[in-house]
Structure 1
Amino acid sequence: MLSATYDSLLVVVSLLVAILASYTALDMAERINTTSNLHSMAARFWLAGGAVAMGIGIWSMHFIGMLAFRLPIMLGYDAWITALSLAIAIAVSGYALWTVSRPELPLRRLLKSALFMGIGIAGMHYTGMAAMRMNPGIDYDPLLFLASVAIAIVASAAALWIAFRLRKNTPHVKAARAGASVVMGVAIVGMHYTGMAAANFRTGAICMAAREGVSPGWLAILIVVVTLAVLTIALLTSVLDARLESRTAKLARSLAEANEELTQMVLHDHLTKLPNRTLLEDRLTQSINKASRSNSHFALMFMDLDGFKAINDSLGHHIGDRLLVEVAERLTGSMRAHDTVARLGGDEFVILVDLVKPDDAMPVAEKLVEVVNQPFMVDKHELRVSASVGIAIYPEDGSTRHDLVINADAAMYHTKRSGRNGYNFFEPSMNANAHNQLQWLQDLRVALERKQFRLVYQPKFRSPDGPVMGAEALLRWQHPVHGIVGPDEFIALAERSGLIIPIGAWVLDEACRQMQEWIKLGYSDWKIAVNLSALQFADPHLLDVVTAALEKHQLPASCLTLEVTESTAMHDTAASMQTLQKIADLGVDISIDDFGTGYSSLLYLKRLPANELKIDRGFVRDLSDGTEDAAIVSAIVALGRTLNLRIVAEGVETEMQQDFLTSVGCDALQGYLMGRPMPPEQFLQAIRPLQEAARQA
């Protein structure tokens, strides 16, 4: 027999390649497992790539081991048979990766797969040995041959089990894979060298592939370089994909959290965290659909807090807000989990309650009134409010969302008119008012589209009687049936329905257009004043609406004054300060309207970026020397002077009021004494004589 030797360096290299191939196989198993669908293109890509990388790794370990083998004769390898052994290695690797990517790996499947894989690896090894084409052929020791096949099967079983167990990305899995790769690599190498030990070469034998085949000298270098390149590329691709997947997953989680937070903000009241109008409408629609299918009942209850405004005005909005939160918690705690408690705004709450029969609404309403009647402790204040509740039952009191809302609202107002602190079911006698409200709401929805709104303008005069400083734009509704309708009759309905937002945007746009017309006529020193409702002031798109109106009509920002009521400006002061500052940064003037009627902290008032204070007409109406109103007006003027604000008094109707307001230092006056609200075509005609008189004086 020919005496064989081994190149120790190549033996070590073969072991390292086996370990690296094992680690690559374990990593590829994770990449295949992370794909959501094993039949997807991504899973097939990783399976094919992993099979190629793992197959080349195992095959190259085998061939490097054969290249480390030395005989005292020239050796070579048949290229086609060598390629066949490589194909066997890739096929076996693909089968192994497919096996460990399955959801489960029962013992029977494990043993069956290990037998197939072990025989495949042994087949690769002995096919590679056959590539030497020895003459006479290689004699194999039967015991060592069987031992090598057994080692291949056992090593395959261990490798499959380890790969299946370590295919998920869990804590410390990288270290576990590294250790497992060493075990698997040693087992693969052990199988190979056991198979090599089983081979015996007769004396005088020659290698038929030494001349025609591939010589081992450069083949060793080529195989090592190519194998390391393939395995390195496979590992780098896997690592980069894992990082990309991790970042994608993190981004997806962040987007999901942001979407959840946005949904929470859009569908819930920011103060009480209760469902808001939008979410309530959706749940009301669902309740109608459910009750319609099952012929069941539910109650829609409107609840308004009696006495809340007095608390809010006397103790401040921060106390009022905390009281609303306390009320919301009590209401939620007293209702069932599947019932809905929503807040529409202010002190208005709506409760949706599933009923077995209509009469079941009565104890629920009694419970609501009772829990609200209990005293509240807010910031060491013992506060008491009561509840006025109106109840509409589906389908008896309405089969549509609008009918139920209007009827429950009507029942609630009936409770208020009847003495408050109680509840009333909707009755047909309330229908006239309810349907009247509904008709007004329907008319209001189309009024803007049909161009039924008009603006009239009331002049503002420099104290005492001129010249004109500008005008305040006042809204009127040219109703097709009721004629001219003042804002007092429809603004509250517009606020409650949300229509005030588009109506307010139209008012702003039309006022800017009219002011630009007056500038073209030479009145560039005038200012146009526009009132902002509380809902409009809270609109996140307010700044965009103001900017768009100014740009559309090329109106200088300094020609526009936005009037915000004192109570609106002082509600949620942090947000109000931010909104007002953004408006002021545009160059638009800010006027605090109805000053003196709300509850203002001087600390916040001095920080407001306001230019003007408007004294409420309620103080001007009963004005005379020595009265309480006169003292209040004098104090407001003094305060405004201290804060460097213009002082405007509205509602001036008598010369006595005019004289007093001038004497205490008001900068501008507005009222019926000097000019009523007029359409724009009459405005200039009416003020020209007044302008002339002011110039002559």
Structure 2
Amino acid sequence: MRWNIAAESISLVMLGIIWVYARKGSHLPTLKNKIFQWCLLVTFSAILTNILSTIMIYQYEYIPIWLTWIVTSVYFVLTPLMGLTYFLYTVSVIYTDMDQAKKVIGIGLIPGAGYTLLILVNPFTRNIFDINSQNGYSRGSWVFTTYLVFYIYCLASIVVTVCNRKKIEAEIYGILAAFPVLAVLVIFVQQLYPDVILSGSAATCALLIIYLHLQNKQISLDYLTNIPNRQELLNMIGLTIKKAPDKEFYLLVVSLRDFRQINNTCGQQKGDVFLKEVSQFLCRTGPAGNVYRFSGDEFALLFLQPDKDELTQCISRIQERMSGPWQVDEYRFVLPAVMGIFYHTGDEDTLEKIINSVECAVARAKEGKHGQVCYCDRAMLEKMERKRRIIQILKQQLTEPDFEMYYQPIYSVKSGEFLYAESLMRIPKSPIGPIYPSEFIPIAEETGLIVDITYIMLDKVCKFINRLIETGIEVGAVHVNFSGIQFSRPDLADRVLEIVQKNGTPMPALEIEFTESTLAESTQVVTDFAVQMLERGIKMGLDDFGTGYSNIATVIHIPFGTVKLDKSLVYAAMNSEKSALAIRNLTRTFKALGMKVIAEGVENEEQKNMVVEFGADQIQGFYYAKPMPEDETVEFMLQKAGERNTYRSNSF
């Protein structure tokens, strides 16, 4: 019998190409990657021995029979066991739990072990095939088991895939279900045309599908620098802490400073060349095979062998190189860099915690307060954990708003009354103890939670104003602070009016304050908002004047009712005659423009006398009243109103 091995020869070449490219892909020591390499080895060996066996059978008269027996036996072992490798690969993709995967694999090895035993005893039974010097090659009565084993494994792959379809992605499900079906179809065609050998073609087609969709090096490599990408780093760290939770390692992230300026100066294409040069340098300097592109202008170096001296030397070489110039064609730049380092000591660190920690270290290094290299120490980790808890608490406050509102009464110099107050949010009780505004407000602004928190606060202030009015207390206005982020919302004015109208609160009893930095960043937006509010009777005020970036010209064109001088100006005026003169003239200017001036942070008699002499209309500070809960504020204002009425009666 003559066989056509042209398809096998072509498949061998194609498989060799796939194998070469596959070795440049992911180097993660996962079960999936190991089995894929085994699939390539088994399939390549099966096709090669198939071709050699066919040639040797043709030439059985000239080649030793024993050698032909060995090669053919190896071929008969490997060919159906290609199905086993596909099955094992399917299992490795679906089952991430190693114990569960080992159980399925153990069961799956049984048919293969039984079939291998048949091949081993075949020289004595001749049930699978026979080769002799008289007749050459002939098939045995049990040769069908070769196809049967292959079909069993392909069927098992499909069954395992279908049974686990709910826990795998749709795309992966389609791939795992498709490649064994394709292999079965090709082998079925071979059975119809036994003179054409297609087993290698079936295997190569299946492996090509797997490589293109699941093992392609482009999945794990960065397209620009050709080094492993961020996802590959995450996979490597995740695998490491899963297999050996107590293993210590260093993660170093190198972040280029102001690299955007390079792109702006010489263009994206030249900027990419600089990034390639940097990545190649780091690959030569850092741990072999463990340099990754972390993000656009950041690279990660993973030291799986925690050698402090190696890490220190690597950092020194990086710092030395980054202090010198880099040149691409006619462009020459110094590429300053900062580094963040996380040391995994075997604690119960999650992948998310590790990445967040090193990113935090990089951020602190960029601040410049801790040098160009910042280690993520225990204090930083504790700070990060506290921040995470605060974010959780703030989110909880949005669903169950039980935070407390405090109010600080504001003294009116002319009338001697407390007709105004500033609202302040407090979290006096939480699972981690009291949280002060200086800590949670910046976090709320960073996460964007401040927007909804402010709306809740506005609603509580409206209810407080209504309570004051119902109690018979005269209300000038209660101030509410708005963050700059608030002005990024297009529906801000509508939401504010909706909340005020829903509560039935008199609009003139409300004053919205925002800071100078907000005014500087969103001048036109703030102006438009202020005009809308003023048309409805809601007052507007500028908070903390003297700490931001606005100027008198900007302030003049916005319809403010009040300007609050920051306490730093009050302290400066106490210590410097020039500062006192400037603030006195500033106060007069604002008053001449029709604005009322509030001096905040007044704590003693001397400061009070000074701001009164300057011409301040209102005074806010501990000298008159500290921030207090709502009930205490109502009592305080009732008491002061009563004292004032008594004084007036006696005077009359």
TM norm structure 2: 0.49
- Structure with higher Rg: it is 1
TM-score, normalised to structure 1, is 0.46
